[in-house]
A and B are shown apart, each in its own frame.
Chain A
């Protein structure tokens, strides 16, 4: 990899540095692009918000959802499955560990009515909008 760069030094002494910067940028892009764990999709209508998170292999008992005003927090742990003795691992890509994420919704949530369900490793949280935060129509009376 040094070959062509050494030859070009006479023409552009900073080529190596530029290459390094490009490489670093690429490295950062890779990490900045990646969605933090767990990946989440959020939808909202006038009356409620829906949050879906992909949590395969996570026990619903190990997930905690908290709601305060318009902020939903999701935390929990994906436990590692300890393989039995005498087992060789050829590929270990499925990670484990604890996670925590918070999201700010566009409106305050009625926390008494929040519902969460877990199916096929996907967590779905339905968060109804708090009555107080809904826009109110004001009737105009003609005098």
Chain B
């Protein structure tokens, strides 16, 4: 158990996901993520440096949210690498939401390498105030 955990130690400040091996010869990282809950929505913020809107895929299957983004893999041509502090590859992470989400109203924006997702809760999942009447 402990050994297993050690294998997942952060490398070059990105956490490498090792659950499944990939077909493509690219490392897969877990992006650092914040998840907030408001009364009427879930807010997700995800660090995805080097990923633009075209190389990003977000899916919601049942209540499994999956974010996959491929980083820009280009490197300067005709240059020699002097120092490698980070690897480039694929960011991928899944979350089980545990909340009913209104699928038609999900908003996703990416700017400056940060993905922001707003997942509005469905009517049933929102807290409801119950009026108590004195009888």
- Residues of A bordering B, CB below 8 Å: 26, 29-30, 33-35, 37, 39-45, 48-50, 54-59, 81, 83-84, 86-95, 103, 105-106, 118, 120-122
Cβ < 8 Å to A, chain B residues 107-134? 110, 112-114
Chain A residues closer than 8 Å to B50, beta-carbon distance: 54, 120-122
Pairs of residues from A and B, 5 with the lowest C-beta to C-beta distance, nearest first: A121-B113, A56-B113, A43-B79, A39-B86, A121-B49
Chain B residues closer than 8 Å to A59, beta-carbon distance: 112
Query: How many whole Å from A12's CB to the nearest CB in chain B?
Result: 21
> A59, A105, A121 — which one has the most chain B CB atoms within 10 A of its CB?
A121
Chain B residues closer than 8 Å to A58, beta-carbon distance: 112
Residue B25 is within 8 A (CB to CB) of chain A in the complex: no
A87 touches B43 (CB 8 A): yes
How many chain B residues touch A (CB < 8 A): the figure is 39
Cα distance, A121 to B35, chains bound together (Å): 20
Query: How many whole Å from A109's CB to the nearest CB in chain B?
Result: 14
Given known A-B contacts A30-B9, A30-B10, A56 and B81 have beta carbons under 8 A apart: no
Cα distance, A41 to B74, chains bound together (Å): 12
Give the A-B pair count, Cβ closer than 8 A: 126
Cα distance, A110 to B76, chains bound together (Å): 19
Cβ 8 A contact of A94, one of B6, B32, B43? B32
Residue B100 is within 8 A (CB to CB) of chain A in the complex: no
Cα distance, A84 to B37, chains bound together (Å): 10
Given known A-B contacts A120-B112, A121-B112, A84 and B10 have beta carbons under 8 A apart: no
Residue B12 is within 8 A (CB to CB) of chain A in the complex: yes
Given known A-B contacts A56-B48, A93-B32, A122-B113, A37 and B13 have beta carbons under 8 A apart: yes
Query: How many whole Å from B1's CB to the nearest CB in chain A?
Result: 12
The 0/1 profile, CB within 8 Å of A marked 1, for residues 15-40 of chain B is: 00000000000000000111111110
Query: How many whole Å from B16's CB to the nearest CB in chain A?
Result: 12
Can you list 27 pairs linking A and B with CB atoms under 8 Å apart?
Answer: A29-B9, A35-B13, A39-B86, A40-B85, A41-B75, A42-B82, A43-B75, A43-B80, A54-B49, A54-B86, A54-B113, A56-B114, A57-B47, A58-B112, A89-B37, A93-B32, A93-B33, A93-B34, A94-B33, A94-B47, A103-B83, A120-B48, A120-B51, A121-B112, A121-B113, A121-B114, A122-B72
A88 touches B36 (CB 8 A): yes
A89 touches B85 (CB 8 A): no
